[in-house]
Amino acid sequence: MGLKKITRVKSQGEPVTSSDAMLRVLYVEDNEANWAITEMSLRDAYQLELATNSDKALELLNIRRFDLILMDIELQGSRLDGIEITRAIRSSALSYASVPIIFVTAYSARYSRSDLIAAGGDDLVEKPVDFPKLQRSMAQLFRAKSQVVEQERAMRVEAEDLLDDKNAELEQAAESLAFVESKLVQADKMALYGTLTASIVHELCSPISAIVASLGPLGDILGTLKQTDQADSSTTKDMVERFDIIYEVLRVSSGRLQEQVDALRRGSRRAKDVLDEVNIEVVLREALLVAGARIKHIPIKVEHTDSLPSVRCVPGQVGQIILNLVVNAADAVEASRRHTDPSIVVRLSGDESDEIFRIEVHDDGPGVPEDMRNEIFEGFFTTKDASRGTGLGLSVCKKIATDHGGELSIEDSKLLRGACFVVKLPVAGPASQPDSSES
């Protein structure tokens, strides 16, 4: 699960202010005499520009920034009158939508102030214009807009500070989530090894019992050999033969015991989580040893092509993938109760010229429905009861494969009647050291 950082979005309705020293005013007026008088009266305080019709006004608003608009209402020869221009401006998403507008008209009796304000105007000035009154209105609107700008700026700063705080909280939450996920991964691994330890102990019991059981007869034989005076007699030779048999039992059993211990140690030791040139057959053999009694009664067949290449990987992590897939296959076979021969097939393929090493684990279980094939790789998704897993195994395996530059997928088995999990790993290895928290 990812946490997305909140980004800031600039408001499109912010008032704009000219960067010039003098405030810029657009006068929409079709009468040149009125324009000349207004320009002469205001030019010392403002920078004025004329638009004689609606098209020219909208064109200028699109290419220049204005701090205020003086709007004549009735415009001769114009496509839009002053009220319609104002509505077009106010409905626009551009920055001038909030620029103050003062209506200027000689026909004030035709229009109510409330209607003009509803249309988007900020004030109404009658012609002939009382310029001191107009300038007071303009100054008042500039002050009001400045206050609005300052309020909006303060609110924006406050909102940005709030966003910074929320982003900091999100980053902290993401770090906490990553920490929890890492701990859950370790917990899943420990749960898996805890379950498999019982199987390993079961496997160790047989060779240990054989060794202990052989010690008694060995002591008797040694005692008899010490008492006999006929070393070359048939009795002595028989005892030596029996001694050889018991010794072989001890040797084989202790060898099995050592293999189990070594496989467990290599599978659980994190200190060796470094990239290395690895023989995947050896990793597979160790994974099957660790699986122990969980797969003891299920026929497993291993197939591979000739001259398998070494793969640059972290052996413990790849071993964890194989171990999880084999154990899952065993659980699926047990659930289906179809113990045909074979019930699980592990197939390794690749050669020196291949760039990809392929590991396939086929089972004779019930398979995985199409609608579940994406879900099974998600964390905490499981079809098993709580005593057999947390639902993290396959999600961890998929991440390990991805970190190695490979992939883990599922398809229908063409060899057996169940599922086939496919691991693809680049022979050359990943571009960087995989995360050791998965192993």
Per the model's pLDDT, the better-predicted residue between 227 and 270 turns out to be 227
Q: Is residue 145 part of a domain?
A: no
pLDDT digits (tens, 9 = 90+) for 184-197: 766 666 566 656 66
pLDDT at 28: 93
Over 70: is that where the pLDDT of 202 sits? no
One domain, residues 90 and 235: no
What pTM was estimated for this model as a whole?
Answer: 0.44
Q: Taking the C-alpha atoms of 271, 277, 280 and 286 in order, what is their torsion angle to the nearest 10 degrees? A: -30
Residue entry with tokens 């026929």: 299
Over 90: is that where the pLDDT of 375 sits? no
Residues in the chain: 439
pLDDT at 14: 41
One domain, residues 279 and 255: no
One domain, residues 297 and 367: yes
Question: Where residue 46 sits, what CATH number does that domain have?
Answer: 3.40.50.2300
pLDDT at 19: 42
**Residue 172 binned pLDDT confidence (cut-offs 50, 70, 90):** confident
For CA atoms 331, 332, 335, 340, the dihedral sign is negative
Q: Which of 215, 240, 261 is the last residue of a domain?
A: 261
Q: Is residue 54 part of a domain?
A: yes
Per the model's pLDDT, the better-predicted residue between 286 and 202 turns out to be 286
Over 50: is that where the pLDDT of 207 sits? yes
Specify the range with the lowest mean pLDDT, choosing from 8-12, 50-54, 266-270, 315-319.
8-12
Per the model's pLDDT, the better-predicted residue between 240 and 256 turns out to be 240
One domain, residues 213 and 115: no
Q: Is residue 6 part of a domain?
A: no
Q: Is residue 17 part of a domain?
A: no
How many structural domains are present in the chain?
3
Highest mean pLDDT among 17-21, 100-104, 168-172, 335-339: 100-104
One domain, residues 431 and 332: yes
One domain, residues 404 and 388: yes
**Residue 317 binned pLDDT confidence (cut-offs 50, 70, 90):** confident
One domain, residues 226 and 290: no
One domain, residues 277 and 425: yes
Name the residue range of residue 346's domain: 269-438
Q: Is residue 149 part of a domain?
A: no
Write a three-state SS string for 165-192.
HHHHHHHHHHHHHHHHHHHHHHHHHHHH
One domain, residues 223 and 355: no
pLDDT at 71: 92
Over 70: is that where the pLDDT of 93 sits? no
Over 50: is that where the pLDDT of 11 sits? no
Q: Is residue 164 part of a domain?
A: no
One domain, residues 213 and 319: no
pLDDT at 347: 93
Q: Is residue 135 part of a domain?
A: no
Q: Which of 235, 261, 287 is the last residue of a domain?
A: 261
Q: What is the mean pLDDT of residues 346-350?
A: 90
Question: Where residue 398 sits, what CATH number does that domain have?
Answer: 3.30.565.10
One domain, residues 76 and 195: no
| Residue 332, SS3 per DSSP | helix
Q: Which residues of 139-174 are buried (b: 16+ CB within 10 A; e: fewer)?
A: eebeeebeeeeeeeeeeeeeeeeeeeeebeeeeeee
Distance CA 3, CA 44 (A): 56
Nearest alpha-carbon partner for 254 in 201, 328, 204: 204
Q: Which of 204, 238, 261 is the last residue of a domain?
A: 261
Over 80: is that where the pLDDT of 379 sits? no
The residue type of 153 is R
Over 80: is that where the pLDDT of 228 sits? no
The tokens for 241 are 């033969």
What integer best gives the mean pLDDT of the chain?
Answer: 77
Q: Is residue 156 part of a domain?
A: no
Specify the range with the lowest mean pLDDT, choosing from 14-28, 71-85, 354-368.
14-28
One domain, residues 434 and 359: yes
The tokens for 209 are 């019992």
